Amino acid sequence: MLQIDLWKRIVIWGVVALGLLMALPNAFYTRVEGHNDALAEIEAMGATDAREEAAAAWPGFMPSGLVNLGLDLRGGAHLLAEVQVDDVYEARMEALWPELRDALRPERATIGTIRLQPSDPDELVVRISEPDGIARAVEVARGLARPVTSLTGAGAQDLEVAGEGDLLRVTLSEAERLATDERTVRQSLEIIRRRIDEVGTREPTIQRQGSDRILIQVPGIGSAAELKEIIGTTAQLTFQPVVGRGASAEDNAGVGNEILPSLDEEGVYYTLETAPVVTGEELVDAQPSFDQNGRPAVSFRFNPSGARKFGDYTAENIGNPFAIVLDDEVISAPVIQSHIPGGSGIITGNFTVEESTQLAVLLRAGALPAELIFLEERTIGPELGADSIVAGQIATIVAFVAVLVFMVLSYGLFGVFANVALIINIGLIFGLLSTIGATLTLPGIAGIVLTVGMAVDANVLVFERIREELRGGKGPARAIELGYEKALSAIVDANITTFITAVILFAMGSGPVRGFAITLGLGIMTSVFTAIFVTRLMIVLWFERRRPKTIEV
Amino acid sequence: MRLRLVPQNTTWDFFSRSRLWLGISALLMVVAFVSFILQGLNYGIDFRGGTTIRTESAQPVDVGAYRDALQTLNLGDVTISEVFDPTFGPDQNVAMIRIQAQEGQESVSAEIIASAQEALTTVAPDIQFVSVESVGPKVSGELIQTAAIAVLLAIGAVLIYIWLRFEWQFALGAVAALVHDVLLTIGIFSELQIKFDLAIIAALLTIVGYSLNDTVVVFDRVRENLRKYKKKDLKEVLNISINETLSRTMMTSVTTLIALVSLFVLGGDVIRGFVFAMIWGVIIGTYSSIFVASAILLWLGVKRDWSKPDQTQGNQFANVDA
């Protein structure tokens, strides 16, 4: 007969209670959000009365997980950036040139004079005046290669060297390129994360996508343009030797040199050696400060290797100017007054206090190793998000009430059972969404509404089956039992197939579509659970109490 | 008194005109396909790149003035349409502006968006840009590819699942119904030129899931009845099964439609296309599970040799839960 073991009953009610408890914070969204924010602030910046009060608005022993609202509901900016990993090859080759030159110099007797040739950015081509010495030159260049530091590239060297006639060609090996790409993307990801964290926005999503892309979603930010400014598409700091100073960008710079404009002096251009002495990557700290005249400046400190390079260079080039270059603009080009050991220094320029603070933040967060190209950008205003939430809420409530009424009209008391299960079902979806920290999007709301419609399906299958059994002359208890038994395979098959599509959607989709897949998938799980266990338990409880001779479904 | 969508014991013959229905479905599929080929879909920026700007202002939208303002910027193909919605307030005037992807630009140009916004602000000073979305041509190409793969994968996975749980004839019938539903949905989007974007792909996959749900419930009953009525011919068994499940089919379709219609009317214009696709899908999904999936099953026939009980249920996965 209709029997459900006591332990099963306890487990079922326990799961329902737990799910509803996890869903509860969402009913007090702003209060719980204030509580969570306050706790985070107390953790980070210490307690104040206002924060204590906000934190106390929600009891600490209660769960405080909330459903994250997606960008389309909360407003914010979305960017899909592609890291130009090739940039790094170029930088590597530029940095290699002085090293290669110094290594080849002692071999002048065999290879003659050496000269850098114009080439593709990702290779280094050197012409030697004695073609007979090419074998020796290749050997020397190969000596500069180092083992690749990655798991897949183990055993490979990072440089590929070829000699043809009097030309020596150096490129990065395939294994090194792969390893470099990996490093570049990870580094970019980390830097973007740090920069966004510096600004302190709430719950940003910064994810790697595919091999060289980064997805950035920041709720609550004004526009994608603003977000791009924070990320700083080309914030690269370098210290480069100055060759000369002129008034035109069109001058012939010469091989290995480049011409860059001055940041604050209109019409002034500097000719610089392309290979930097030190780059911003080797900075360990930067702080806003003031120079000896009390003007805003930025003080900085290098790591040991940067400090050594900077120290050596300043020792050898006293009296020569060198340029501090940010984003391909010369901030300043001071003359080296003395050897600067210890690797710390100060950047002066015509800064305001804000600018020097901003520059310090930029430097501290580190330069991006490569340029970012934005393939996709979306800005959703908070008003549109708020409108969408309101519309979604109204639609969900109307859908909900309509389905509830319809179910009662169709199935009477059993419809009421199904409705209670449906309400529990919605609670469980929210409970699960909060627990796994999933994001609710507008299509996600549509997924919930669709679940409202479809969740009754499992109950309908059972109820229709019970009706059939009753018509077939079975007694009430037997009809209910058979109804559940026979409907099970249809329920399972029907829901597994829908679940398969939800999984594929989740795997292939992104953003809003993924939000839809999540609510649909969770909705299928909870609706099967409520139909098979919760409704059944309710019916059994009712049946045990009333023991009706006949039932009408 | 209970509300009944269909009479209690129906004995309708669903296959008396099965050829006619299959013919109509086939014809509609051809029409949908031809429309798709000739007219194409009205792809959103997700699939063809470009920028959409959603504006909101207190003054009524003057499409002509907007167009004139943007004309001077030489942005190529620009479409401007006013959006109406019952959920909007009285002085909420919304327009959608779509700008094509600019020639030779892989990434999204911030200057173009800024200049367009500036031009629009001169026409309507209080204009607000409530959402701005740009997709580069590189990504849009990949998105459409991923979307197509997702739909094909879903259909393939379902084919395998039903084949494991039932028999191959059932799987073919179900997949024929799915292809029918997907094609007709694409067809109506092409015919009515409704914007086809990523969300519609999600809707398509949901339709796949829903239609399947329906088909599987009917098939499950067919499987059961094939065992119960060994003497009856397949057509009769199919008819009995469809009649027996008809009440459930209608109940579920109606509750789902109730939910979807309320979302369609009240859920705002942002997801209206998406909800429309699902409403359409529920209707044709319900139709196709009877008139396409079952009809194909009838046409293909099912092995009726039940003398060896071990082999009657497809294969070893057929009844894991029963």
Residues of B in contact with A409 (CB under 8 A): 2-3
The chain A residue lying nearest B3, using CA atoms, is: A410
Q: Report whether pLDDT(B27) > 90.
A: yes
- Using the beta-carbon criterion (under 8 Å), do B212 and A450 form an inter-chain contact? no
Higher local confidence (pLDDT), A235 or B126: B126
Residue B309, CA atoms < 13 Å, CB-side half-sphere: 3
Interval A380-408: pLDDT, tens: 888 888 888 888 888 888 988 998 999 99
Q: What is the pLDDT of residue A149?
A: 65
Residues of B in contact with A473 (CB under 8 A): none
CATH architecture of A237-348: 2-Layer Sandwich (3.30)
Q: What is the identity of the amino acid at B131? A: S
Interval A33-63: pLDDT, tens: 888 888 887 877 777 888 888 888 888 888 8
Q: What is the pLDDT of residue A431?
A: 92
- Using the beta-carbon criterion (under 8 Å), do A501 and B202 form an inter-chain contact? no
Interval A450-496: pLDDT, tens: 787 777 888 999 998 998 899 888 888 899 999 999 888 888 888 88
Q: What is the pLDDT of residue B317?
A: 57
Q: What is the identity of the amino acid at B40? A: G
**C-alpha dihedral, B310 to B316 to B320 to B322, nearest 10°:** -20
The chain A residue lying nearest B275, using CA atoms, is: A446
Q: Report whether pLDDT(B65) > 50.
A: yes
Q: What is the pLDDT of residue A203?
A: 74
* Token duo for residue B250: 């209608």
Predicted confidence band of residue B310 (pLDDT cuts 50, 70, 90): very low
Q: What is the identity of the amino acid at B314? A: G
Q: Which member of A373, A376, A409 has the closest CB to residue B3? A: A409
Q: Which member of B54, B213, B254 has the closest CB to residue A498? A: B213
Please name the fold of domain B50-135.
Alpha-Beta Plaits (3.30.70)
Rounded to a whole number of angstroms, the distance from the CA of B161 to the nearest CA of chain A is: 8
What single-letter DSSP state applies at residue B252?
H
- Using the beta-carbon criterion (under 8 Å), do A443 and B110 form an inter-chain contact? no
- Using the beta-carbon criterion (under 8 Å), do A498 and B153 form an inter-chain contact? no
Task: Please state the rounded mean pLDDT for residues A325-336.
Answer: 78
The chain B residue lying nearest A453, using CA atoms, is: B256
The chain A residue lying nearest B216, using CA atoms, is: A494
Characterize the bridge pairing of strands A296-302 and A269-273.
Answer: unpaired
The top-scoring range by mean pLDDT among A4-18, A311-325, B296-310 is: A4-18
Distance CA A346, CA B264 (A): 62
Rounded to a whole number of angstroms, the distance from the CA of A377 to the nearest CA of chain B is: 5
Q: What is the pLDDT of residue B37?
A: 92
Distance CA B243, CA B218 (A): 9
Residues of A in contact with B131 (CB under 8 A): 378-381, 384
- Give the position of tokens 């009296």: A319
SS3 (DSSP) at A127 = strand
Predicted confidence band of residue B35 (pLDDT cuts 50, 70, 90): very high
Q: What is the pLDDT of residue A264?
A: 72
Q: Which member of B108, B139, B205 has the closest CB to residue A504? A: B205
* Token duo for residue A486: 């026979």
Question: B interface mutation test: which of A489, A506, A510, A524 has the most B CBs within 10 A?
Answer: A489
Rounded to a whole number of angstroms, the distance from the CA of A549 to the nearest CA of chain B is: 19
Give the bridge partners for A240, in sequence order: A323
- Using the beta-carbon criterion (under 8 Å), do B267 and A392 form an inter-chain contact? yes
Q: What is the pLDDT of residue B312?
A: 45
Residues of A in contact with B3 (CB under 8 A): 406, 409-410
Same fold, A6-26+383-546 and A86-177: no
B24 to chain A, any CB pair closer than 8 A? The answer is: no
- Using the beta-carbon criterion (under 8 Å), do A402 and B259 form an inter-chain contact? yes
**Ramachandran quadrant class, A210 (left: phi over 0; alpha: psi -120 to 50; beta: rest):** left
Percent with pLDDT over 70 in chain B:
92
Q: Report whether pLDDT(A375) > 50.
A: yes
Q: Report whether pLDDT(A234) > 50.
A: no
Rounded to a whole number of angstroms, the distance from the CA of B232 to the nearest CA of chain A is: 20
Among A227, A157, A241, CA closest to A196: A227
Task: Please state the rounded mean pLDDT for residues A6-13.
Answer: 90
Q: What is the pLDDT of residue A195?
A: 76
Interval A259-273: pLDDT, tens: 888 877 777 888 888
- Using the beta-carbon criterion (under 8 Å), do A394 and B208 form an inter-chain contact? no
Between CA A422 and CA B221, with CA A406 as vertex, the angle to 5 degrees is 75
CATH 1.20.1640.10 describes domain B18-43+140-311: yes
Q: Report whether pLDDT(A335) > 70.
A: yes
Q: In whole angstroms, how far apart are CA A423 and each of A401, A426, A457?
A: 10, 5, 14
A472 to chain B, any CB pair closer than 8 A? The answer is: no
Task: Please state the rounded mean pLDDT for residues B104-111.
Answer: 69
Burial of B258 (0-12, 13-18, 19+ CB in 10 A): buried
The DSSP result for B117-160, as a single string, is HHHHHHHSTT-EEEEEEEE-HHHHHHHHHHHHHHHHHHHHHHHH
Residue A51 CA to its chain's centroid (Å): 29
Residues of B in contact with A404 (CB under 8 A): none
Domain chopping of chain A, boundaries: 6-26+383-546, 86-177, 237-348
Percent with pLDDT over 90 in chain A:
10
Q: What is the pLDDT of residue B216?
A: 87
- Indicate the average pLDDT of chain A: 83
When mean pLDDT is compared across A397-411, B143-157, B281-295, the lowest value belongs to B143-157
* Interface contacts A/B by beta carbons within 8 Å: 243
Residues of chain A numbered 406-425 and touching chain B (CB < 8 Å): 406-407, 409-412
Q: What is the pLDDT of residue A489?
A: 86
The structure's pTM equals 0.75
A405 to chain B, any CB pair closer than 8 A? The answer is: no
Classify A6-26+383-546 by CATH class: mainly alpha
Please name the fold of domain A86-177.
Gyrase A; domain 2 (3.30.1360)
B11 to chain A, any CB pair closer than 8 A? The answer is: no
Q: Report whether pLDDT(B188) > 90.
A: yes
A334 to chain B, any CB pair closer than 8 A? The answer is: no
Predicted confidence band of residue A428 (pLDDT cuts 50, 70, 90): very high
What single-letter DSSP state applies at residue A147?
B
- Using the beta-carbon criterion (under 8 Å), do A228 and B110 form an inter-chain contact? yes
Q: What is the pLDDT of residue B29?
A: 94
The chain A residue lying nearest B158, using CA atoms, is: A497
Question: B interface mutation test: which of A228, A375, A380 has the most B CBs within 10 A?
Answer: A375
A489 phi, psi to nearest 5 deg: -65, -35
Rounded to a whole number of angstroms, the distance from the CA of B216 to the nearest CA of chain A is: 6
Yes or no: say if A153 and A178 are a contact pair by the CB < 8 Å rule: yes
B115 to chain A, any CB pair closer than 8 A? The answer is: no
Residues of B in contact with A225 (CB under 8 A): 110, 113-114
Q: Report whether pLDDT(B316) > 60.
A: no
- Using the beta-carbon criterion (under 8 Å), do B271 and A446 form an inter-chain contact? yes
Q: Which helix (H) or strand (E) holds A345?
A: strand A344-348
Q: What is the pLDDT of residue A522?
A: 92
Task: Please state the rounded mean pLDDT for residues A66-82.
Answer: 86
Q: What is the pLDDT of residue A417?
A: 92
Q: What is the pLDDT of residue B311?
A: 45
Task: Please state the rounded mean pLDDT for residues A119-147.
Answer: 86
User: Where in chain B is CATH 3.30.70.2040?
Assistant: 50-135
Task: Please state the rounded mean pLDDT for residues B135-150.
Answer: 83
Q: Report whether pLDDT(B254) > 60.
A: yes
Q: What is the pLDDT of residue A364?
A: 67
